[in-house]
Chains A and B, each alone.
Chain A
Amino acid sequence: MAAPPSSTTVISSASSLADSLFQRSLDDLIKSLRSDPSSESVIISRAISEIHREIRSTDPLTKSIALQKLTYLSSLYFTSMSWAAFHTIELLPSSSLHTKRLAYLAASLSIHPSTTDLITLSTHQLHKDLTSLSNSSSSSPFLPSLPLQLLSLAASPDLSTHLAPDLVPLLSRPSPLQPKAVSAAYRVLSLCPSTVPVLFKPLVDCLSSDNPLTVSAAVGAFCELSAPPNDPSPYLPLAPEIYRVLVNSRSNWTLIKVLKIFSRLVPLEPRLGSRVVEPICQFLRESQAKSLVLECVKTVVTCLPTHTEAIQLAIGKIKELLSADDDPNLRYLGLQTLRMLAPQHLWALEENREVVAQSLIDPDRSISCEALRLMMAMTLQGNSVEICTLLVKQAAKSDPEFANEILDSVLTSCAKDFYELVVDFDWYVSLLGEMARIPHCMKGDEISRQLVDIGLRVRDARPELVRVARELLIDPSLLGNHFLYTVLSAAAWISGEYVEFSKDPMELVEALLQPRTSLLPTSARAVYIQSVLKVLTFSCNSYLEESGSAVNNTVITRMLSLIEMTVGPLAESDEAEVEDRVRNLLGAVRLVGNIKDHSGDKDKDGMIYEVVKGMVHLFSDEMGPVSTNAQKRVAVPDDLDLKENLADLSEFISDDDVDNATQFRSKDSILLYPRNHNASEEVELGPTRLAESTSLEEHRKRHGLYYLSSDKEARESELTEDYPLVNEKLLPLNGDTARRVKVTKPRPTVVKLDEGEDLKTSSSLSNKEEAKDDALSGAIMDALLGKNGEGPASAFDASSSRQGTSKDKEREIKSKKSEEGESKNRHKGKRRHRHRKEPEPGVSASQEKPVIQDFLL
């Protein structure tokens, strides 16, 4: 803290007159900050210490000026203001409107329930100010707008529950404050679903208000409430009201919001689409406002894809946007909306190909990124070669950021669905090699992953892979680039694993052992050394098969001596990985050397033959991709009883279950297994799973995480659906699952493995997520369909089933939706009372109809 300023050292804390005489106003503060920019921090800390003193004074004027200064510093100079929360709240009840405003501003800028609980102290004051219109006629008619601002920014659940009733009169009475009340109310609603019964109906009534601003605010509120990630289905019953606004409103702003809401509702109820398309087409034809036209185009393109007339109009407008040479904004928006047409109307994208290609090289990053995304959307199996080559060429010419973006999109889309888009793997592999060489390429990890992945899955691509790998390994300049070491280690691995396709193993070994490899990190070097061993083995074996003796072969001898020379010194390396493999390698080399030197002539060839054959056998198993489901599919041997009580295991398992779980899990994460070894590892895996499931159960018991019946059988079968097992988290994310694909002539086989369970688990995961968001939607649906226990809520046991499984919830929502669809049909004049989808008795159904009807009337 800086020393107090000389001019104000005379302040005595007792006298408020003295304080105000010497107190610096906000203007003074600003002037002093501006006059001397270099000593800004000194001035600020001085000011803060002044403020600390002044704000505690009893004189409200002093306090308010101090608060004003503090607000200024806090919002523009990032000084913390939270310590003054109490003082801010103290000033809220002030009778001077000016001070009140200051205090409210300070509060809305600095107080938030997440940082302080003091907000609840102001509850009474907020209540008074909100109801001031009805209580005292002397206060300003605009007074309630202050607490509304504060509430919209800093509402806590407690505050919301207490003040929600005060919002209701503001919502229902027409006044200039009504729109503000609407916005504040929707915020309160979304933060605190328990206020729904109080606030929702008034909010809906505002939709039909006479004040266009109120209508606008209400539409905006519903637009935000139904926005993703929230569930828009509860708002479906409001569609008729909102449609009325669509047809009657003259305000573009309101119409834009209305269109947004419809774009979320139409996918839920296709008949709505046919009602809405008419007004939208009219806007498209007649409106002069570009923003409205844009929104119409977006809506048509995203949710009315089948209405040809609308689509034609929309595409016409998009073409106009794209051809606006002088306005980059419009071009950008044209590209963006064009992309939305992607899956269904690719022909439209094709038509505008030129513009897209032009935009790709536009200097504006926004436009070029948008063009990139468009090109990826246009990519099909047929044109993938053309597009990807073009893009990679462009990447070579672009700045680093954009180049990496291009590489990223090419890599992701080509790898999707096990390289669905790639027909010619030879081309793709060489493209990967090219990508690695692009300056500033930072996608080394992904490139290396794909190289290895393709090697595992696509047998026919292996020769080309080896060729590309060779080129990468030979080049000494790549070794210095630390973004590329993963690519290089992938290349080394490929060369070692598929050395049989290599044309010149000696060259490979030289490349793998070149002096600059010392620049590589440990992990890469380890792979290099291992590959050398593989290449050596292969070479020895092939020469052995050609001519009976490999020992006297010059190439082999050269190889051996080269290895001795370069790798020898590494035997004492600090890094365990490298040292380990070096010793393996040297061991093999010296073994052969020893035989050569020490044995008698007759045995030599034979022994070397044995050694080499043994080593070849080590590397002979072909590695393939392993499905992450593989473990689950391992059959439990008959003599292993999983249900047996393993209480004595608990002696071995310590109290921290977590350690055990991770220990076992790390075994699972090894992706590369020799395929035929699965059977022999059953017994090991058995107790693994067993211990894992018992420790999981222990954990659950401890934390009482049981929602389901205690019946073991039932639980185990339901566990797979509702409560994913620990393992299963790995399942949906890892791509190692699919079925065997039939070979199409030019396209080589891509090995995939069984897929079945994948879909189920991903859907069960998404169910869980839906369950979380439904607190608000559930409350709103309750409010719309009847708040009391009778009515549809009881028929589906809404309140109790909300704690039930997510599956019940889905059913509940679906049936409520079908009811809502029914009621809407009635509203639209189609009588369908008798058409009932659910097997409910007519009594409860007819009970609920009047509720909706009254509500919506």
Chain B
Amino acid sequence: MIRFILLQNRQGKTRLAKYYVPLEDSEKHKVEYEVHRLVVNRDPKFTNFVEFRTHKVIYRRYAGLFFSMCVDITDNELAYLECIHLFVEILDHFFSNVCELDLVFNFHKVYLILDEFILAGELQETSKRAIIERMGELEKQE
């Protein structure tokens, strides 16, 4: 199960934070700070998995943004790495060559996309095409 997803830039500013477990505001702050510190100092040649408290964080850096997912210790790392990549691909498609600014100004849309393919910490849909189709339909509704 995914516990939380964080998108942070190199300076530590959070661009997206979605939690699938209940946490207080102060705890969230601490968590985001710690995760940032963990991933930002790692050499690109190192593994994409780090231990974080009693869980693990699977992260990847795309341009200036770190995409981090905190999962349970027993979860399959490679599968979640692909999950992160899927998310990035969808964002890329939706915003046409997404950059950080797109995420900043389209804050609600990003959440919408995320909610469409992850619910309750579980990946719902693995097909990029299906998600994009669904998002298109949702857009028409508005």
Enumerate chain A interface residues (CB-CB to B < 8 A): 26-27, 30, 34, 68, 71-72, 75-76, 78, 80, 97-98, 101-102, 105, 112, 114-115, 140, 142, 145, 148-149, 152-153, 176, 179-180, 183-184, 186-187, 213, 217, 220-221, 224, 227-228, 251-253, 256, 260, 290-291, 294-295, 298, 328-329, 331-333, 363-367, 369
Contacts and interface: CB of A to CB of B under 8 A. Distances in A.
A48 to B, nearest CB: 14
Nearest to A140: B141
Contact of B76 (A78, A256, A331): A256
A333 B124 contact: no
A268 B139 CA distance: 49
A261 B130 CA distance: 27
Contacts of B142: 97-98
A155 to B, nearest CB: 10
Interface stretch (B21-29, B62-70, B90-98): B21-29
Given A142-B134, A227-B74, 10 more contacts: A78-B25, A105-B111, A149-B115, A153-B120, A180-B124, A183-B120, A291-B78, A295-B76, A332-B49, A365-B46
Give 5 closest A-B pairs by Cβ, nearest first.
A291-B78, A152-B120, A364-B46, A183-B120, A291-B79
Nearest to B46: A364
A333 B125 contact: no
Contacts of B134: 142, 176
Interface in B13-39: 13-17, 20, 22, 24-25, 28-29
B102 interface: no
Given A148-B119, A183-B120, A332-B47, A290 B105 contact: no
B89 interface: no
B50 interface: yes
Judged by DSSP, the binding face of A is helix
Nearest to A183: B120
A101 B112 contact: yes
A155 B18 CA distance: 17
Contacts of B74: 227-228, 260
A581 B111 CA distance: 68
A294 B49 contact: no
Contacts of B115: 105, 145, 149
A12 to B, nearest CB: 29
Contacts of A98: 142
A224 B122 contact: yes
Given A76-B14, A98-B142, A176-B134, A291 B76 contact: yes
A179 B15 contact: no
Contacts of B28: 78
A105 B108 CA distance: 8
Given A142-B141, A224-B122, A328 B46 contact: yes
12 contacts: A101-B112, A105-B111, A145-B116, A179-B124, A183-B120, A183-B124, A252-B79, A256-B76, A256-B79, A294-B78, A329-B77, A367-B47
Nearest to B29: A78
B60 to A, nearest CB: 10
B129 interface: no
A253 B104 contact: no
B77 A333 contact: yes
A253 to B, nearest CB: 5
Contacts of B43: 363-364
B119 A184 contact: yes
B72 to A, nearest CB: 7
Contact of A186 (B16, B47, B120, B126): B120
Contact of B50 (A71, A76, A176, A366): A366
B120 A26 contact: no
Contacts of B22: 112, 114, 153
Interface in B40-54: 42-43, 45-51
B78 A329 contact: yes
B76 A294 contact: yes
Nearest to B77: A333
B107 A26 contact: yes
A758 B109 CA distance: 59
A171 B141 CA distance: 24
Given A112-B22, A329-B47, A364-B46, A217 B124 contact: yes
B7 to A, nearest CB: 10
Contacts of A102: 108
B113 interface: no
A34 B134 CA distance: 32
A289 to B, nearest CB: 8
Contact of A213 (B25, B81, B121, B124): B124
Contacts of A145: 115-116
Contacts of A180: 119, 124
Contacts of B49: 329, 332, 366
A380 B76 CA distance: 30
A27 B1 CA distance: 34
A369 B51 CA distance: 10
Nearest to B80: A291
A253 B120 contact: no
A71 B74 CA distance: 33
